[in-house]
Structure 1
Amino acid sequence: MPRPRNQVERRAQLIDAAGRAVVRVGATTVKLRDVAAEAGITPASVLYYYPDLQELFSAVFEHGAATYFGTRREAIAAAEGPVEQLRACIRSGVPWPGEGEESTRLLFELFPLALRNDAAAQAHRLFFEQQTDLYRQVLEHGRDRGVFQLAADAWEVGRSFVALEDGYAMDLLVSTTTAARIEARLLAHARLVTGNPAFGEDAAG
């Protein structure tokens, strides 16, 4: 394959192709040939840009995490007031059928990279901290306006939300719950940690 004039564009194409291959085949079984077939090029061409497949998967994770985070940030920015902002933050973290579930599945497929790859581990830590900080900002805004009576430090409460999101998302990916039930449970948690009855009293079963 001749070298494209825009190598940044080619790398972006490979990241997209690798992401599709991971979702389709699974990160534990995807091979170089799967990525090449998805991209419509030869395996040698993939290796020209990413000599190490793990490096490519790290790039896929970073891209997927950045896209996911950007979507959440936009959803919060479009909401008015602390209660609606927290609702938006929660809703944007739920793996709804379609694009939401697919993006969540991609990130979960690639999470184990953090156990073996330093760059992936750093990207994972940053991603978790970014999600936590989104919650922190919303929670502090509500606290400062007298809307929330936080049960603990805003950062720690934010971490609890992200941890719950991850656990519930795994439940969904193995087909033991639904997106609507996850949202209901997170809203119930919001009521407990903010003391605001606007989030409702009951979680779905």
Structure 2
Amino acid sequence: MARPRNQAERRAQLISATAATVVELGATATKLRDVARAAGVTPASVLYYYSDIQELFAAVFERSAATYFVSRQEAIATADGPVARLRACIRSGVPWPGEGEQSTRLLFELFPVALRHENAAQRQRDFVEQQADLYRQVLELGRDSGDFVLSGDASTLGRSFVALEDGYAMDLLVGSVTAQDIEDQLLDHARVVTGNTAFGSGPARHRED
């Protein structure tokens, strides 16, 4: 294959093909030839841009994490006030059926790459820190406005939300909870850590909505 004029475009094409293949087959079953087939190129062409499948997986993880984070930022930015912003932060982290569940599945499939690829490991650390910081900002906003009486340090509480999201997401991917279950559990956690009764699952929550 001749060298493409736009290498960034070719890399993006390979990343998209890899992401689709990983969602379909799983990361452990995805081979270089599968990616090449999905992208409509030869395995040698893939290796022109990425040294091996692990480097390509790392690139997919980086793009997926960045896209996921930006979508959360946008969801929070459109909400008005601390309560609405925390709800938006929670809702944007739930793997709802469709695109949300698919993007979460992709990130979980690729997580083992971070255990063996330092660039991916650093991106994973940054990804977690970025999401925890979203929660920290919203929690501090509510604390400063008087809407929240926090049960602990905002940074620590923010990290706890992310840890809960990850655990519940795994439960969803193996079929033991639904996306609505996850949102309800996280809203209950929000009520406990903020002292604000606007949060919580069940009829009271929906009346507040």
> What interval of TM-score do these two structures reach, taking the shorter chain for normalisation?
over 0.9
Identity of aligned residues (%): 71
Q: Contact 1:149–1:194 (CA<8 Å) still a contact in 2?
A: yes
Q: Contact 1:188–1:202 (CA<8 Å) still a contact in 2?
A: no
- How much does 1:200 deviate? 2.4
Match of 1:121 in 2: 121
Match of 2:27 in 1: 27
Q: Deviations over 1:51-100 (max 9, x none)?
A: 22111110000000000000000000000000000000000000000000
Match of 1:83 in 2: 83
Q: Deviations over 1:101-151 (max 9, x none)?
A: 000000000111111111111010000000000000000000000000011
Q: Deviations over 1:158-205 (max 9, x none)?
A: 0000000000000000011100000000000000000000002669xx
Give the letter aligned to residue 88 of structure 1: A
Match of 1:151 in 2: 151
Superposition map of 1:84-123 within 5 A? 84-123=84-123
SS of equivalent to 2:75 = helix
SS of equivalent to 2:4 = coil
Q: Does 2:64 match 1:61?
A: no
So what's the TM-score if we normalise by structure 2? 0.95
SS of equivalent to 2:51 = coil
- How much does 1:2 deviate? 1.1
Whole-angstrom CA distance in 1 between matches of 2:122 and 2:50: 19
Give the letter aligned to residue 52 of structure 1: D
Q: Contact 1:36–1:42 (CA<8 Å) still a contact in 2?
A: yes
Q: Contact 2:76–2:85 (CA<8 Å) still a contact in 1?
A: yes
Give the letter aligned to residue 166 of structure 1: D
Q: Does 2:36 match 1:45?
A: no
Match of 2:207 in 1: none
Give the letter aligned to residue 133 of structure 1: D
Match of 1:2 in 2: 2
Task: Say how many residue pairs are matched.
Answer: 203
Superposition map of 1:131-150 within 5 A? 131-150=131-150
Whole-angstrom CA distance in 2 between matches of 1:140 and 1:202: 26
So what's the TM-score if we normalise by structure 1? 0.97
Q: Contact 1:32–1:43 (CA<8 Å) still a contact in 2?
A: yes
Consecutive unaligned residues of structure 1, counting only runs of 5 or more, are none
Give the letter aligned to residue 190 of structure 1: A
Match of 1:190 in 2: 190
Q: Where does structure 1 differ by over 2 angstroms across 4 or more consecutive aligned residues?
A: 200-203
Whole-angstrom CA distance in 1 between matches of 2:176 and 2:200: 23
Consecutive unaligned residues of structure 2, counting only runs of 5 or more, are 204-209
